[in-house]
Amino acid sequence: MVKTLSTSGQAEAPNRPFCVEYYWENWRQCMAGVKREDRPHLLSSGVSQFSQSPVLNEAAMGLLRYSISSGQLSRYHLNDRCAAQIAEILCLYLERDDLTAENIVYCYGSTDALDMLFEYCRMEGIRQGAIPLASYYGYELAILGNGLHIDHYYGEGVASSSGQVREKKPKERRFLLRNVPEGISGAQNIEPPSHLSDTECDFVIVDTTCQTMDVAGARTRTELRKVANERDLINSCLLMTLSKDLGLPGLRSGIVITRDQKLLSFLKKRVEQRYVQVGPLSCYAMLFYAYCLAVESGVAKEHAGLAPLLDEMALFESGRPIFEREATEIFARQREVIRTNFVTLQDKLTDIFENLEAFRSGFTCFPNLRFLSPTPERTLAFSKHLSERSKVWVNTMHAFGGTQRAWQEIYPERIGLRINLSWENNFADYLSRLRQGLDSWSDASS
């Protein structure tokens, strides 16, 4: 039986994009004056909690050493071989044969890339479009910050108009943003309704964040390859970043991959205007990440000697074969932690949560909890209650963009809770504390 959490007497909040302002401002107020050791456990953390691997740490240090010793830090322009070798790996990984260094633009992570991409949309008359719900905060910020409109949010096969819809002019163009795998809910791929599909949009952005944490076999690579190649990377692009997979969010590193010459020209000029050149450490890190994807997917075994620039960096002190074996073991261990924690979640809270079977990839899931007439204010009160009663902080759906109407139409009478599955210790205890808070909420809200 699914437990229902009731609310009453809540005024309807304005139907506006929520972004993170209301939710996170209240989080800051809630935590103000609270000692760090007394703060609630961040069960909803969006940062990988896996312990840092010595072999990956050593590789990261090697990238920095090479950037210094090669003199790259004293130059504005990077060695072009880096992008060429990334392209070679991605051709194998995505099963293409037409990607070159010219098709790759470096950026400081996906957030940086999104800002440039939606600036491009504005200049091209692409004024409105659709994004998934839940969403990373950077999606709405980049869209609204460039004066564009979100006309729809979408879930699996369902969409909600956001209240920002303007009358579409005959020559006006639309964008579609996709996240594969869906980095908050852990869904492999959220398909938008047919009227918002790739074929109905003029420009498609595919963002990917977690490619090594596929607990459902090799579906992530298959889905990503399909979605990224549907338009042949024309009037579309693929974003990649290493933040989640390698657990290095502080190393802002990413790439945009496209075959659209107009977009490429814009991005390269914009990068040069913004910061002349993305730093060499970030660029080399993306080469190393592409190689890790090749190792994890088995491509490296079929094609020995990929990315010889990595050998020049002396990253593999014990040799490539040993590194590849250790890296494969690291990613396998992380997937096993995720898989085990998800089973624990199912065992302990399956009577409360819904849609637990939807999780496929990444290290966070987004189960639904029945919650009558959820409002931003009430779900925030719910988070605060769990914090005070159980010493766990769970981010509810309104921390992930959208409008109240969109959440209600796509996930009626439910709230989604983000739960991080990468905790290597005490996860069952955290869930027990979460259950205590859920059980006491009915009394608190009556």
∠ Cα 24 393 396 (to 5°): 60
Whether residue 327 has a cis bond before it, omega within 30° of 0: no
Task: Look over the chain and give the mean of its residue pLDDT values, rounded to a whole number.
Answer: 85
Q: Distance between CA 19 and CA 401 in Å, rounded?
A: 4
Angstrom CA distances, 312 to 34, 287, 401, stand at 49, 13, 44
Across the strands, what pairs with 416?
Answer: 368
Three-state SS at 194 = helix
- The helix or strand, by DSSP H or E, that contains position 432, with its residue range, turns out to be helix 427-445
- Report which of 361, 396, 394 is spatially closest to residue 375, judged by C-alpha positions: 396
Confidence of residue 9 (pLDDT cuts 50, 70, 90): very low
- On the CB side of 260, how many CA atoms lie within 13 Å of its CA? 23
Most confident of 19-33, 308-322, 396-410, 420-434: 420-434
Residue environment code for 269-298, b if the CB has 16+ CB neighbours within 10 A, otherwise e:
ebbeeeeeebbbbbbbbbbbbbbbbbbbbe
Strand positions, DSSP E, 139-235: 149-155, 158-161, 173-179, 203-208
For 327-341, what is the mean pLDDT? 94
Q: Distance between CA 405 and CA 412 in Å, rounded?
A: 9
Which residue did the predictor score with more confidence, 169 or 83? 83
Domain 70-312: state its class: alpha beta
Burial environment of residue 362 by CB neighbours within 10 A (0 to 12, 13 to 18, 19 or more): buried
- Report which of 324, 360, 35, 372 is spatially closest to residue 187, judged by C-alpha positions: 360
Confidence of residue 162 (pLDDT cuts 50, 70, 90): low
Q: What is the structure's pLDDT at 4?
A: 45
Domain 4-51+331-445 superfamily per CATH: Aspartate Aminotransferase, domain 1 (3.90.1150.10)
Q: What is the structure's pLDDT at 224?
A: 85
Confidence of residue 302 (pLDDT cuts 50, 70, 90): confident
Three-state SS at 410 = helix
Confidence of residue 36 (pLDDT cuts 50, 70, 90): low
Residue with tokens 């935590």: 31
For 118-145, what is the mean pLDDT? 92
For 385-401, what is the mean pLDDT? 89
pLDDT at 246 over 50: yes
Residue with tokens 């009227």: 195
Q: What is the structure's pLDDT at 388?
A: 87
pLDDT at 12 over 50: no
For 176-185, what is the mean pLDDT? 89
Do 4-51+331-445 and 70-312 share a fold? Answer: no
For 263-272, what is the mean pLDDT? 94
Q: What's the predicted TM-score (pTM) here?
A: 0.89
For 252-256, what is the mean pLDDT? 92
Q: What is the structure's pLDDT at 420?
A: 95
List the chain domain ranges: 4-51+331-445, 70-312
- Amino acid 325 reads R
